[in-house]
Amino acid sequence: MGVVNKRHPLDVAAIFREYGGRFLDNHSLCTDQWKAYNAICLCRTTAMGGHVDACNKCGEQQVSYNSCRNRHCNKCQYTKQLMWVDKLRSTLPVCRYFHVVFTIPSEMHKTCYINQRECYKLLFKASAETLQKVGRNPKFLGAQTGAVSVLHTWGQALTYHPHVHMLVPAGGLSEDGTEWVHAGKKFFLPVKALSSVFRGVLWSLLESSKIKLADNFKDVNALKKALYLKNWNVYAKKPLAGPESVVQYLGRYTHRVAINNSRLVSANQSKVTFKWKDYRKRLSKQLLTLDTQEFIGRFMRHILPSGFYKIRYYGLLASVNHNKKEQSIRLIGKPIPISLLQGLRAKQVLKIVTGKEPDLCPKCNQGRLMPKTVLDPI
């Protein structure tokens, strides 16, 4: 089975390596999917190469294999997440924040999937335009706002469910730039207004774009009719207190992949069982069993197009509006935390975060593990 994660003996890579042959025989993967599949299978194995470290006290040796660093690999995201969270924490205005989620109806899913690059881009653009349009309305906030947006394409059961998570300041900069306008304590903007505006903005963008319709709709008018018959959902959670809790909260979403190894329960040639939460029925710690080929197929549907950025910044939080963000920070009047991890190597990051010395010999607990031999890929 190759190298297996010690904390989670069962992992996605092992399932791919052991049972993926039949899936590949019966399915064709696009270039991006094949690169991700191959990287996940080879991650932290002899095929990636590695190095041998030896303790300078007792001589204990440890072999470490290189990571694939693919953004869809659930073993390669932890350090990236820590560093991103630390960097964002040192740039956000210090205030309360709301978590807002924009989703699209299931009738749009097939069309979205066959036009992934274009539709994901429009989903980002429409949610950002909606937020700023409703935010500027004097009936609501009456100010310029912004967001950090993160794209997810999956639900808890690995079903295809494209949606955008937004971290939004609980307030905004007045139009003349002289005042920070605070949002209400309990809600940011009315979700019904956000939902109807989002539907109109996204449809307007879709109409003017060149997308291919899925076979479940004969023309654009049929798609429009189906989408306008549905209630579009925009979900807003209660505000988060300060930048520390805010960024840690968002960090759970940014570098997440379709499923973590910790959720896997069992796997064999025919079935994979994993833990999931049924949000509709408000049930947690449920078990779901899928055919192994179906499990692999569902995972592969969430491979993003090459070069597509799944984290984006809008409005006051966009780099192009640096001056407005700085003005917002001055008006709020609270100091921004200093970055602790910027420019550090992975081992230095782990030492600060965990409080443990990563090079400490696990056998004698006195010596340090020092590089001894480089292992070439096999």
Cα Rg for the chain, rounded, in angstroms?
23
What pLDDT band is residue 26 in, cutting at 50, 70 and 90? Answer: very high
Neighbouring C-alpha atoms within 13 Å toward the C-beta of 91: 19
pLDDT at 378 over 60: yes
What pLDDT band is residue 173 in, cutting at 50, 70 and 90? Answer: very high
The rounded distance, in Å, linking the Cα atoms of 232 and 236 is 13
Paired tokens of 247: 């960024």
The predicted pLDDT at position 332 comes to: 94
pLDDT at 64 over 90: yes
Q: What is the DSSP string of 188-229?
A: SS-HHHHHHHHHHHHHHHHHTS--PPPTT-SSHHHHHHHHHT
Answer left, alpha or beta for residue 173, where phi above 0 means left and psi between -120 and 50 means alpha: beta
What pLDDT band is residue 367 in, cutting at 50, 70 and 90? Answer: very high
Is 19 in a helix, a strand, or coil? helix
The predicted pLDDT at position 59 comes to: 94
The rounded distance, in Å, linking the Cα atoms of 148 and 161 is 20
Per residue in 252-288, pLDDT (tens digit) is: 777 889 999 999 999 999 999 999 988 777 777 799 9
The predicted pLDDT at position 287 comes to: 94
The predicted pLDDT at position 6 comes to: 45
pLDDT at 361 over 70: yes
Q: Which of 20-29, 171-180, 247-256 is the least confident region?
A: 247-256
Paired tokens of 38: 């191959």
Across the beta sheet with 160-169, what order do the strands follow?
Answer: 234-236, 97-103, 160-169, 146-154, 311-315
Map tokens 């947006």 to a residue.
149
The predicted pLDDT at position 244 comes to: 64
Per residue in 39-53, pLDDT (tens digit) is: 999 999 999 999 999
Per residue in 118-144, pLDDT (tens digit) is: 999 999 999 999 999 999 999 889 999
Task: For residue 226, count other CB atoms closer than 10 A to its CB.
Answer: 15
The rounded distance, in Å, linking the Cα atoms of 266 and 271 is 8
- Segment 107-115 shows an average pLDDT of 95
Amino acid at 289: T
Q: Which of 22-36, 43-57, 70-84, 100-114 is the least confident region?
A: 70-84
Amino acid at 205: L
Per residue in 197-222, pLDDT (tens digit) is: 999 999 999 999 989 988 888 888 89
**Domain boundaries along the sequence of the chain:** 12-72+344-375, 78-258+302-332
- Segment 56-82 shows an average pLDDT of 92
The rounded distance, in Å, linking the Cα atoms of 62 and 132 is 53
Looking at the DSSP bridge assignments, the partners of residue 99 are 167
* Closest to 146 (Cα-Cα) out of 181, 117, 193, 119: 181
Q: What is the DSSP string of 87-154?
A: HHHTTS-SS-EEEEEEE--GGGHHHHHHTHHHHHHHHHHHHHHHHHHHHH-TTTT-SB-EEEEEEEEE
Across the beta sheet with 369-375, what order do the strands follow?
Answer: 61-65, 50-55, 369-375
Per residue in 146-166, pLDDT (tens digit) is: 999 999 999 999 999 999 999
The predicted pLDDT at position 29 comes to: 96
pLDDT at 8 over 60: no
- Segment 53-68 shows an average pLDDT of 95
The predicted pLDDT at position 1 comes to: 33
